[in-house]
Homo-oligomer: A and B are copies of this chain.
Amino acid sequence: MPPQEHESGWIDRLRRHGDRITPSRRAVVMALTSSDRALSALEILEWARPWCPGLGIVTVYRTIERLQHLGLVQRVHGVNSCHSYIAVSDARRFMFLCERCGSADALSMPDMETMVGQAATALGFQVQALTFQVNGLCRRCQSEPAAPMAEATAVADVTVC
């Protein structure tokens, strides 16, 4: 829900981690921090291109990998097609993903976290990643007839690259 406030934080995080801050990375970070829904690699490319026209898909993949490694971005799985990415946030640990419009409704469930922790301990399981998703249709999309699907909004004419 917070807008793109993440952005500078992510950049700092990358820098502190020893990664260089390039226009390409800025653009990818911008795309991911300003989207409220999960984006595929291709979508990230489209979102980021306006800010960095030369950007290539390879760099998108490589940047996603780094951001994932830093715990800033997480994978999201659709019913068909896995492999979309969204900013990690505690509030968004549990997601209701709309298959139609792509929206990701957040929900924080502290009790659930506790239960998972207890279960893991009981099993002696070392947790690396947690995926909790409910896929389906959000309230709005249940009534709508056609299929919208947030398109790569034609964004500003600013260029960082």
Contact = CB atoms under 8 A, between A and B. Distances in A.
Interface of A: 75, 77, 79, 82-83, 94, 96, 98-99, 105, 107, 109, 111-112, 115-116, 119-120, 123-139, 142
A28 to B, nearest CB: 20
Given A82-B82, A83-B82, A131-B131, A125 B137 contact: yes
A105 B123 contact: yes
B139 A123 contact: yes
B125 A136 contact: yes
Given A77-B77, A130-B135, A132-B132, A119 B109 contact: yes
Given A77-B77, A96-B120, A138 B125 contact: yes
22 contacts: A77-B131, A94-B119, A98-B125, A107-B123, A109-B119, A124-B138, A124-B142, A125-B138, A126-B136, A126-B137, A126-B142, A127-B135, A127-B136, A128-B135, A128-B136, A129-B135, A130-B133, A130-B135, A131-B133, A131-B134, A132-B132, A132-B133
